[in-house]
A and B are shown apart, each in its own frame.
Chain A
């Protein structure tokens, strides 16, 4: 089962921007691991949420034909902790998109409060990393994953 960390998209503009939300519940096990008496969402999982939001945005820009991997996190600045009961909003914008990959600027908020500013670079790995070969099938956007995405296409106002 693919690990999906975002709950749903609330906005999706092909090749431009996407916004997704994640509801944080105290029932999630990871919240009890970092500081058992003070449950917070680890910064790494906030970065993961942005990577998933932006990664799908970058993948959709080429109709999920490319194997999109997170190449680099150029910047990740955190301003506020995220705690149980919060709804995290991940907003990703494509700054640059090329045959080889994409550069993303992301902001993470809870309500009107800024949680983090994140810059990321994604690579279309078949177009990069000269000399290395990867499996022919798309192991990033699998059939199972694209089936899941169809629920956004069919059931919601946000079309992906």
Chain B
């Protein structure tokens, strides 16, 4: 049986509420995990474990949160993603919405990619690739 996007959202919402200890009504699709919900780096590992358990998926290191990009001068210059960096990020995170980051590709704004909706799309992509 195929799980709908709404059902994925509900499960993701429960996970975020449990993991971050936030109120349910704070967990809207556009909420940024770090800026709006107070997530710290270890919370992403916790959320990743909870997603694996809830959806029966396997998330490998760097799959949801790409690594190693910001240290590469081809991808980042003067604390901003270069066009090549943005392109690489888009390749690695096809499930993210880049509208905000493209307006100002400052590295510190990368956290804005990690919204509740991004997690929902990530899970949806994983489930599709498994079926």
Contacts and interface: CB of A to CB of B under 8 A. Distances in A.
Interface stretch (B5-13, B40-48, B79-87): B40-48
A128 B46 contact: no
A72 B42 contact: yes
Interface residues of B, number: 16
Contact of B61 (A95, A96, A103, A127): A127
B126 to A, nearest CB: 15
Interface in B40-64: 41-43, 45-46, 48-49, 52-53, 60-61
B49 A128 contact: no
Q: Which of A121, A127, A131 has the most CB of B within 10 A?
A: A121
B18 interface: yes
Contacts of B46: 71-72, 74, 103, 121
Contacts of B48: 100
Contacts of B60: 98-99
A27 interface: no
B67 interface: yes
A98 B67 CA distance: 16
A142 B42 CA distance: 23
Given A71-B45, A71-B46, A131-B70, 20 more contacts: A72-B42, A72-B46, A74-B18, A74-B46, A95-B53, A96-B52, A98-B49, A98-B61, A99-B61, A100-B45, A100-B48, A100-B61, A103-B49, A123-B45, A127-B61, A128-B41, A128-B42, A128-B45, A129-B42, A130-B41
Interface in A67-96: 71-72, 74, 95-96
Nearest to B42: A71
Contacts of A121: 42, 45-46, 49
Contacts of A127: 61
A57 B18 CA distance: 25
22 contacts: A72-B43, A72-B46, A74-B18, A74-B19, A96-B49, A96-B52, A98-B61, A99-B61, A100-B45, A103-B49, A103-B53, A121-B45, A121-B46, A123-B42, A123-B45, A127-B61, A128-B41, A128-B45, A129-B41, A130-B41, A130-B65, A130-B67
Interface residues of A, number: 17
What are the 9 A-B residue pairs with the smallest beta carbon separation, nearest first?
A71-B42, A103-B49, A129-B41, A99-B61, A96-B49, A121-B46, A72-B46, A100-B45, A101-B45
Contacts of A98: 49, 60-61
Interface string A103-131: 10000000000000000010100011111
B98 to A, nearest CB: 19
